[in-house]
Amino acid sequence: MDFLSLAKNRYSERYFDSKIIEQEKIDRILEAGRVVPTACNYQPQRFYLIRSDEALRKVKTVTNFHYNAPMMILVCYDINEVWTMKGDRYYESYNSGEQDASIAATTMMYEAEELGVHTIWIRGFDSKTVVDTFNLPKNMIPVMLLGLGYPNERAKANAWHYKRNPIESFVEEL
């Protein structure tokens, strides 16, 4: 499947099967997040695998948006490893961490889709609670949880998935 078709077909899965994802697929998904471009190639993205029963129970204490995914990847960035830019008048102390981690997460989502593993991007949580619950170092900034798994018999794209604004609403010539 070509990339544009893959991007159009991928949707946020809300109905996961309990089947465990094969390690070789997990390895490829993680590799996709490792090789992404980052600002000045600083590579601040960090991935925490959440797949034990205990860790998955902890997820349910930090967000209601877990969809019973059999595995999650907590995508963070190391605030000590980000590229920064001083002097931007809109962002007084800009850093690339959230962008870099988001590029990694998105790339992992598409690699998962290519491998037949469905995903959902989850951001409904308090970052401090996540850091405390998982006992992360204070320099780790959570960006999102990536729920992964195989779809169950109820799986289907949400109706909103197919609503797309026309290209003219996104593009303007300067």
Looking up residue 100, the CATH number of its domain turns out to be 3.40.109.10
Q: What's the pLDDT tens digit per position in 31-54?
A: 999 999 999 999 999 999 999 999
38 within 8 A of 103, measured Cβ to Cβ: yes
Q: How many domains does the chain have?
A: 1
Tell me if 173 is assigned to some domain: no
Q: What's the pLDDT tens digit per position in 116-171?
A: 999 999 999 999 999 999 999 999 999 999 999 999 999 999 888 989 999 999 99
Tell me if 96 is assigned to some domain: yes
Q: How many whole angstroms separate alpha carbon 49 and alpha carbon 76? A: 11
Residue 39 is part of which domain span? 17-141
